[in-house]
Structures are given as C-alpha cells and as structure tokens.
A and B are shown apart, each in its own frame.
Chain A
Amino acid sequence: MNKIFKMDMHRLLRSPVFYVSIIFITIMAVALVMSGMSTSLDGLLGVAGAETSMGMDEGAAFMTSAMGAGVIFILISIILTLFVCKDYSGGFAKNIFTVHSNPWDYIGGKMKSMAVTSGFLLVLYTIESIISLAIFGGSLALTGGIFGLIIFLIEKWLVSLALSAVILLVVLFTRNIAWGVLAGFLIATGGLTMGASLFGQMFGIDWLSTIFSVTISGTSQLCTLSFDPLIFIRVLVASAAWIGIGCFLSKRVLLKKDI
C-alpha cells in the first residue's frame, strides 16, 4: 500500500494536472472575490446556503455549494480518474499487479494519495481564499471561529475520501476517463442528487429525500463553519460507509477483471 502511495505521490508531483489544479483554484479564489460573486469565507468555501440570506434563490444556493470545495472535489475526481486510467492505458498496471497480488495494495495506495492530495488542495484553497478576501476586501468573519473552520475542512476532507472511493470504483470498472470525470462532476456538484430529488418531489416520493441526505453530495452539503457534533458524526458515518462500499466493490472488480 505504501509503495503504491509513494509511487503515486512521486508521479503527482511530476504531473501537469496537479499544477493546473493549483493554478485553477488560485484563480478561482481571486476571481470570485474580485468579481464580487463571493464576499465571505462561507461563500468562497462553498458552504451550502451561505448566501441565500442575501437574496439568492435555491438554484443559486446549489451553485454556491458546488463552488469552493465542490470544485476541489471535481479536481480530485479528474486527478484520480487520469491516474487510474493511465495505469491501464499505458500498460503500467501490468507491472504493478504482477508484483502486488493483494488488491488492497493498489486500492489503499490510491486512497492514501488522494487523501493527501485533497487535504492539500482544501487547505491551500482556504488559505488562498482568506488572503484574497484580505487583499481585495471581503468579510473574514468566521461564524464558528478557527475551530469551526478546522472541523469544516476535516468534514469536507472526509467527504472527499468518500468521493475518491466511489470514483475509484467507477474508474476501475469502466477504465474510461469520460465516465470517471462525469461521475465526479455529477457527485461533486450534487447534480445527481438534485436531479433525483426533483424527480422525487415531482412524483410525491418524499422518502427519497431521506436517502439523499446520506449521499456523498447530500453529506457534503451538511458541512458548515459552525461546529455541530451531530453533523460531524453524520458526515463521519456517511463518509466511512461510502469509503467502505467503494473500496470493497473496487476490490471485487480488481479480483474479477483481467488486467
């Protein structure tokens, strides 16, 4: 597991997609503040409903939640998808799986490298957002204080791990970049959940919304800058469940499919 992790980290630091991601989130942090689209840390970090009180409609609130951490989730999905697909398309997977007979080596290695990557991107984006607000003018008020911010980042990081596990499953199953990126986009933006939720409302299937609250995008929208132990536990349990499901099924796929 650690060997694959080290390999992936070495690869990541030499990969253009990683540096493009850093540049992208930097530009996003600056552009959102400069354009006036986000003038608070809540908005920049994509806390759901952060700016609805300022007169935004539900669609705009959805868009807000898709920004910030949502964009980082999309970037994580792209990085993971490219990494796994390139293992297979170039044939390097044959070198890896000849030596690593245990599927957990590969799954664990990928999950660890994504944990480090998403943690790094989340922290970097938060710092950039704070600097951007300080330079270009905006509210640096933290509703839950520093502690609330740290818990928020931990919650988002846990959700990013859940997302990584599901994307890993999709990509190992399809070995296709388009499917991986599409799945990442739909989950990270909450598009899949929102679409299904609208469907539920339309046909009066109210219990669907209960299920959606434990989806990855539903869980992501629970995170706020004010620490709430109940929300933290819900995020922790839901993320752990998705990580477990994603990794277990990924193992099944690796054992079943030919390399």
Chain B
Amino acid sequence: MNAIETTGLCKRYGTKNVVNDLAIAVPKGSIYGFIGRNGSGKSTTQKMVCGLINSTAGEVKLFERPLNDPEVRSKIGTIIEQPGIYPGMSTLENVILQGYSIGIDDPKKRALESLETVGLNKFLKKKAKHLSLGMKQRLGIAIAMLGEPELLVLDEPINGLDPEGIVHLREVISRLNKEKGITIFMSSHILGELSKLATHYGIIKDGELVDQTTAEELANKRKNYLQVKVDNAEGAVTLLKEKMGLKDYEICPGNELHLFNIKETGAVNRILGGNGFNVDEIFLHQQELDEYFIELMGGEDYE
C-alpha cells in the first residue's frame, strides 16, 4: 500500500507550472527522500499532499483514500517550511494546543510524552520564540507526531541545525519510522544526510519527476569506481587492459585512475605490484548521492 500516491498532479501560478504532471508513490512505512533544487516544486508538492494548497489538476491519494477524507487527514503530521508554532506561548502549551486541535483525550499527558520523545522535556515552560532553531524543529516534530500520525511530511527539517541537532533529529526520525512504522515524506538539501535515512527517493526538476527509485536501486545506479593512484597511470592502464580486459576507465591528473566496472581491489593491487608499479592508494569509491543528483540535473552546479 502507498501512503501517498499522486497522479497527474499540477500546480500553476499565472502562466508558470510550478508542479507538472507529477506522479509519485510513497510506500507505507518508507522514508521517502524528496530531492530537488530551490524552486523545483518540492514545498508546493508537499503542501498539496497536506491539503494546504489546492492543485490545479491531478489527484492526491493518502492511504488509498481521497485527500479530502477527514479520517485520512487526521493521520498526517507536518512541518512545512518552518515548524508551525505560537512563538509567544510555551513549548508545552504549543503541543497542548495541537492536542485540542486534533481532539485527543488528555492533551497535557500526551504533550508531555511527545516532548519527551524529542528530548524537550526540560524546556516545557520556555517560550517557543526563545528556543534555538534545532529545538524549534524538535518542537515541530513533537507537534506533528502528537496525534500518532501514520505519515509525517517534513520539508527541509535539517536546515539550519548544528551537527548535534542533525544527529539528534536523524535519530528521532529513524526511531519514529522503525519503532512506530510512521511513513516519512521528507525533503532536504543535505543529501548526504538524507542518504543515511531514506529508503526511497524521488527527484524533481522544474516541477517534473525525473527519477523515482529505491535506495538499493540507487546504489546500483550510482557510478562506483575503483580509484587507484600509481606512479605511471598510462602504463598501468595498458597492463590492466591486457590482464583484466579493462574497458571503462578515466585517467585523472596526478596519475590517478578511475576504473569502472571493476571491484576486485586485491587483484588489481597484485597485478600492478607484481609488474613493478608503485601503488600509492587503491580503494572503491562510491558515488555520493549529491554527485548522482548533480549528474541527473545535467551536471550543473547544485544551488
């Protein structure tokens, strides 16, 4: 079952299609990383999924039910753009208010539990406007998960956090997904961080989906290569062509070789060493998510 399924989703502002014919499928229980440049339509898509913006065309289904079904809407928690809070009210009051809004019994008790989960139980009386950015993000998550949602929609939750905040938030998200089975639909600019969590990816460019894949498929799609640094790169290539049938390679400055479709580090090391080559370094390089993303975007600099 898909937690989110969109078909032909469009959003037009004036003459510009911000989102165009978007078809994404977020499997239930997954952590779906939604990637795209600034202005590519990520936030707009997430807002449409939460019913905060009306789509110009197309359809959104949550857990196989229409978006406007009140029952399905109660299953969503969200942080879009920035955590939705009342800055002048305390941390605890903010969560309690959400409790009243969604109609849970004993909102105070549940608010305390929720704040403990995100590690904010020591800041109950602190006004939300006096919290650090990381704490505000955690407060946003406490609010979003109060009604025990089955789907969390998070827009750039890591933005502006310090390293400690990032690690803590990652742990919280991972725990919610693993322990409570909550589906996470999350966008982020910090792709390295996203790759530590995501089980599925959707890549959007100019409002259109350019790739949708699982983490395993993506690992296979990424161009991994064996990086070798030797004293004579051209001589080494000739030898490896002869001994290993090397076809796909790249000679880089500094006598550095990138050998594609070869993963046998030991064999390459033995052949080169046994034929008098000085091997300074040899390791399997895995293409990072951001490198793959930039390549998919046409090799342009990522904003």
Could you list which residues of chain A lie within 8 angstroms of chain B, going by C-beta atoms? Answer: 2-4, 6-7, 10-11, 14, 86, 90-102, 255-256, 258-259
Residues in chain A near residue B74, CB distance under 8 A: 99
Instruction: Give the complex CA separation of A10 and B101 in angstroms.
Output: 11
Contact of B54 among A11, A90, A96, A255 (CB under 8 A): A255
B53 at the interface (CB under 8 A from A): yes
Contact of B84 among A7, A10, A94 (CB under 8 A): A94
Residues A94 and B100 in contact in the complex (CB < 8 Å), given A101-B67, A101-B70, A101-B73: no
Q: Are B89 and A14 in contact (CB under 8 A)?
A: yes
Q: Are A98 and B97 in contact (CB under 8 A)?
A: no
**13 extra interchain contacts, Cβ-Cβ under 8 A, other than A102-B70, A258-B54?**
A2-B103, A3-B101, A4-B101, A7-B100, A14-B89, A92-B85, A93-B84, A94-B81, A95-B78, A97-B52, A100-B101, A101-B51, A258-B53
Contact of A10 among B52, B96, B153 (CB under 8 A): B96
Residues A98 and B96 in contact in the complex (CB < 8 Å), given A3-B103, A91-B81: no
Q: Are B97 and A92 in contact (CB under 8 A)?
A: yes
Q: Are B52 and A94 in contact (CB under 8 A)?
A: yes
- Chain A residue nearest to B84 (CB atoms) is A91
Residues A90 and B85 in contact in the complex (CB < 8 Å), given A10-B96, A98-B51, A101-B51: yes
Q: Are B51 and A90 in contact (CB under 8 A)?
A: no
Q: Are B101 and A95 in contact (CB under 8 A)?
A: yes
Residues in chain B near residue A256, CB distance under 8 A: 54
Q: 9 closest pairs, A vs B, by CB?
A: A91-B84, A7-B100, A259-B52, A3-B103, A95-B84, A94-B84, A92-B84, A98-B50, A6-B100
B5 at the interface (CB under 8 A from A): no
Instruction: Give the complex CA separation of A7 and B255 in angstroms.
Output: 68
Residues A95 and B67 in contact in the complex (CB < 8 Å), given A10-B100, A90-B87, A101-B51: no
Residues A95 and B53 in contact in the complex (CB < 8 Å), given A14-B89, A100-B73, A258-B47: no
Q: Interface SS of chain B: helix, strand, loop or mixed?
A: loop
Cβ distance B283 to chain A, nearest Cβ, rounded Å? 46
- Chain B residue nearest to A95 (CB atoms) is B84
B36 at the interface (CB under 8 A from A): no
- Chain B residue nearest to A102 (CB atoms) is B70
Contact of B97 among A11, A94, A97, A258 (CB under 8 A): A11
Contact of A99 among B93, B97, B147 (CB under 8 A): B147
B302 at the interface (CB under 8 A from A): no
Cβ distance A80 to chain B, nearest Cβ, rounded Å? 16
Contact of A98 among B54, B73, B87, B103 (CB under 8 A): B73
- Chain B residue nearest to A109 (CB atoms) is B101
Cβ distance A6 to chain B, nearest Cβ, rounded Å? 5
Cβ distance B74 to chain A, nearest Cβ, rounded Å? 6
Residues A259 and B47 in contact in the complex (CB < 8 Å), given A10-B97, A98-B73: yes
B294 at the interface (CB under 8 A from A): no
- Chain A residue nearest to B48 (CB atoms) is A258
Residues A99 and B81 in contact in the complex (CB < 8 Å), given A86-B86, A258-B52: no
Cβ distance A251 to chain B, nearest Cβ, rounded Å? 14
Residues in chain B near residue A10, CB distance under 8 A: 96-97, 100
- Give 27 pairs: A residue, B residue, CB < 8 Å, sorted on A: A3-B101, A3-B102, A4-B101, A7-B100, A7-B101, A10-B97, A11-B86, A90-B85, A91-B85, A92-B84, A92-B86, A94-B50, A94-B78, A94-B80, A94-B81, A95-B84, A95-B98, A96-B101, A98-B52, A98-B76, A98-B78, A99-B101, A99-B147, A101-B70, A255-B54, A258-B52, A259-B47
